[in-house]
Amino acid sequence: MGRPSTISYALTTKRDAWFRTGDLMRQDKRGYFYFVDRVGDTFRWKGETVATSEVNDAIRDCPGVLDATTYGVTVPGADGRAGMAAIVAGENFDFETFSEHLTRLLPAYAHPVFVRTSNAIDATETFKQKKQQLIREGFDPTSIHDTWYFRDPKSTAYGRFDARSFNLIATGRVQL
């Protein structure tokens, strides 16, 4: 697959027009284009701007990850949005390997605080990942039936995230 790039078209006649979609596309060797991510799809966390495409590339490159999407979620009492990744994990996926892999590729503030494992990542008819629904669902594990994990801020290890963990974070007893 080719390197991701934005697409621009030359205007060849007086009545030509173009529309900036904000999509990041990848072109394969045969000339076909594939959606990669939205340009400017970022969130702020711990005073830093996190580019979802950069995090997503690192996650998708991890052994055992079949697909992923990354986005920010609002956490009560926290400044900005915490990173969350929805992943489709293969049989050989391991959170220790995942954490070590991300540590090599990303700064600590860009690591997903929450990870939910899903059977598939929903996409539109044009193969764009449906992030808005995931963002609206937030980080409450009682409202979604995926399995959730949480990156412990002290040990940086990922462990199961449940209603008790949610309550500790939502009430400020655990600081992210």
**Per-residue pLDDT tens over the stretch 102-139:** 999 999 999 999 999 999 888 777 777 778 888 888 87
- Encoded tokens for 16: 């030509």
Q: Is 175 among the domain residues?
A: no
Give me the pLDDT at residue 164, please: 87
Q: What's the pTM?
A: 0.74
* 63 and 35 in a common domain: no
* 49 and 94 in a common domain: yes
- Domain residue limits at 22: 1-8+17-39
Supply the DSSP symbol for 164.
Answer: H
CA of 15: how far to CAs of 7, 12, 18, 35, 71, in Å?
20, 8, 10, 27, 38
* 58 and 101 in a common domain: yes
* 91 and 80 in a common domain: yes
Kindly report the number of other CB atoms within 10 A of residue 163's CB atom: 10
Amino acid of residue 152: D
Q: Is 176 among the domain residues?
A: no
* 72 and 94 in a common domain: yes
Question: Which 3 state secondary structure label does DSSP give 26?
Answer: strand
* 143 and 129 in a common domain: yes
Q: Is 48 among the domain residues?
A: yes
Query: For residue 25, is pLDDT > 80?
Result: no
How far is Cα 129 from Cα 59, in angstroms, rounded to an integer?
15
Average pLDDT over residues 81-107: 95
Looking at the structure of the chain, the number of domains it has is: 2
| H or E element, residue 157 | none
* 98 and 28 in a common domain: no
